[in-house]
Amino acid sequence: MSKFNDGKKQRIEPGISTASLPDIVFMLLFFFMVATKTRENTSSLIVTLPSATETGKLEDKTPTAYIQLGVPTKKLQKVYGDKTSIQLNDAIKSKKDIRMFLDDKRASIKASYPDAQIGASKAKKMVVCLKVDKKTKLGVVSEVKEELRDASALKVNYIVNEGK
């Protein structure tokens, strides 16, 4: 090599250009924004889901409302006791609040569409996802289901872990 460079100036290796790095990262960013959905809510309850095999997946973009049932976490047990409680959005609420929660949810689904008619039909399609701890007594679950019927939210999806 040196005989070709004799008498000439030492060549300096050019650094790798990082100009396209932002583009790559932005591409990743957009991918994740499209492929994922934002976390619905953090849990204040201990919910261990049961397992089942005959499950289905909700269509993308189906409007959903989440209701969780379970025992409050250790930290919150001082405040809420250790009985099975109901969580709507981020807070532990009582059975009576379910109706208002569902009405609010439907109103917000409706409002998120510019066309009132489409909004109304989307609100009708709302599915209530129940995340229930597997040790919960059925009495409590059925009380919640009665509330759902009262609020005429009839589409229910029991969230489970897939498989045995």
Partner 1 sequence: MPKRQSPEVNAGSMADIAFLLLIFFLVTSEMTQESGMFQLLPEKVADTSPPPPVNKRNVIEVLVNNNNLILFEGKLVKIEEIPTLVKEMILNSSNRTDWPVSRAVTEEELQVRIDKNKKVLEKANEAAQASAERKLKKSELRLKALQVFGEDFRKSEHVVNMQATQGAEYETYILLKDHLKQAYKSLRNDLAIKVLGRGWSDLTLQEKEMLKMVYKENISEAPVIQ
Judged by CB under 8 A, the number of residues near partner 1 is 49
Under the binding rule (CB under 8 A), the answer on residue 92 touching partner 1 is no
In the shown chain, the binding pattern of residues 13 to 52 toward partner 1, with x for contact by CB under 8 A and - for none, equals -----xx-xx--xx-xx--xx-xxxxx----------x-x
What gap in Å lies between CA 89 and CA 7, rounded to an integer? 75
The residues pairing with 70 across neighbouring beta strands, listed in sequence order, are 85
The closest alpha carbon to 153, from 131, 117, 127, 119, belongs to 127
Under the binding rule (CB under 8 A), the answer on residue 136 touching partner 1 is yes
What gap in Å lies between CA 47 and CA 70, rounded to an integer? 6
Contact 132, 85 (CB under 8 A): no
**Phi then psi dihedrals of residue 20, to 5 deg:** -90, 0
Under the binding rule (CB under 8 A), the answer on residue 62 touching partner 1 is no
Under the binding rule (CB under 8 A), the answer on residue 95 touching partner 1 is no
Region from 71-79, 87-95, 108-116, 126-134 binding partner 1, contact rule CB under 8 A: 126-134
Structure tokens at 40: 């619905």
- Residues in touch with partner 1 (CB under 8 A): 18-19, 21-22, 25-26, 28-29, 32-33, 35-39, 50, 52-58, 127, 129, 132-139, 141-142, 145, 148-150, 152, 154-162
